[in-house]
Amino acid sequence: MSLNSDREDASSTTSSISSTHTTLWASSLLYQEYTPTLDADTEAGRISDPFMRQEMPADSSTDVDKGLPVHKVVSLTETEMRNRALEDLSIVGEVEAGRNSDPFARQETPADSSNDMAQRLLPVRKVVSLTEAEMISNLQRASSTASLIDEEEEEEEPSVSPAMELFYRLNCARQTMDFVKRQKAKFCTLNRFRMTPFEALSLVNELERCEIRDKTLRCEIRDGVLSCKLNVRTVTLVEHGFATAEILREWYPEETWLHLVGLLHVLGHLLALKDFEKQPLWAIHGETFPLGCRFDPDVAFAQYFTANPDRRKRAYSTRLGIYTAGCGLDKVELSWSGNEYLYQALSRNKTRLPKSALFAIRCRSFDSLECSSSYKQLLSNEDANYVPFAKALRKASEHATSHGVGKGLPTDDMLSYYTRLMHEYLPRKLML
């Protein structure tokens, strides 16, 4: 009976040892599987707790049979705890500067905060009431940063109003080869006006206005209540033209013809006049794209081309359509707009503007040209050299709309400069 009892105890002990060994082995596998990046830290005796300093015995690296190395935990000193916390939380600069994100509070850090920091990790801050002027200044500075964030969000996820969606529906559906030919026959006869360039600019001066937002707040306090509004200034198209020209003058000081193009590009809005039968917006604005070939999906709102009759014509259903590769855009029919009208008018007036100037005016809104491989095949080698100028004109016009406050008010020096450019590049009177 005693012998059997001893055998059972031995069997139980063996089973317990085997189970313990299996558990350690399994734990080792789990540790290696879920924390493979901690091997180096484990060998060096480090762990993630900033308030523990750990030491590893010298023979722990060779003690493989035990599954995991043995760590000896040693309490950190108060100074080590402070240094670990400041290091891991990356707040050293924030603590030393005593900064705070609240725009309505000015915070001061006592002179002895560095000593106090050793005890409390963070300094003691004393909140001081702001004056009205300081409050307004801080709010304007905060709103300036917020406006930049809003701009980035708008670029990533642009919102389209129902009116804008309807505009693109009409623009994509009604810009056909037949429509463009009819518009050219009607408006390119240039028998409506004969006037100087400045007289032509005066026609569009009161026609339409642009809203310029200067991205700052106008704040005031009335009866103890703070009210803030975004500064919005309405400018005329001529002011927008001058602002665009002045921006191009800064960017390209040697290209004097480009400065004049920046001023003249607003003349395409003449199509909205009664003398031009008050053309609809979709026939004046909108993105430029070729006709007579397959519509490219890179055009804005290309899904609305499904309603365009040209889409069902076999001759226009291929990438090049009725054109040949490298034929040049001067042989390609583009959608009708104010840009196309101004290009045709200046070409027929025998101006002394270079071809690059006419190309920039015509392709200012040809956004898909930069990303569509199909449309790039239509360019000639000469056209490819002009594309950067069209892009510069578009960027300058956009920049004038968002940041051109104050640049569009013509001074005597500006009027004198652009008058000289008109005498250099344009006939005395234009046929429009």
Residues 6+ apart with CB under 8 A from 198: 419, 422
pLDDT at 200: 95
DSSP class of 76 = P
Residue that wins the pLDDT comparison between 98 and 400? 400
Residue that wins the pLDDT comparison between 213 and 79? 79
**Strands (DSSP E) found in 141-224:** 194-195, 209-222
Residue that wins the pLDDT comparison between 141 and 5? 141
pLDDT at 122: 44
Q: What is the pLDDT of residues 205-218, one digit of tens each?
A: 877 555 444 445 55
What is the phi/psi pair of residue 253, to 5°? -65, -25
Q: What is the pLDDT of residues 242-274, one digit of tens each?
A: 999 999 999 999 999 999 999 999 999 999 999
Residue 31 has pLDDT above 50, yes or no: no
Residues 6+ apart with CB under 8 A from 24: 66, 67, 68
Considering only 37-51, 82-96, 135-149, 163-177, which range has the smallest mean pLDDT?
Answer: 37-51
pLDDT at 405: 55
DSSP class of 107 = E
pTM here is: 0.62
- Would you list the domain boundaries of the chain? 14-75, 79-128, 163-431
For residue 409, what pLDDT band results from cuts at 50, 70 and 90?
confident
Strand partners, 58: none
Mean pLDDT within 64-89: 54
| Nearest partner of 154 among 201, 215, 239, judged by Cα | 215
Instruction: Identify the H or E element spanning 31.
Output: helix 2-34
Distance CA 102, CA 222 (A): 23
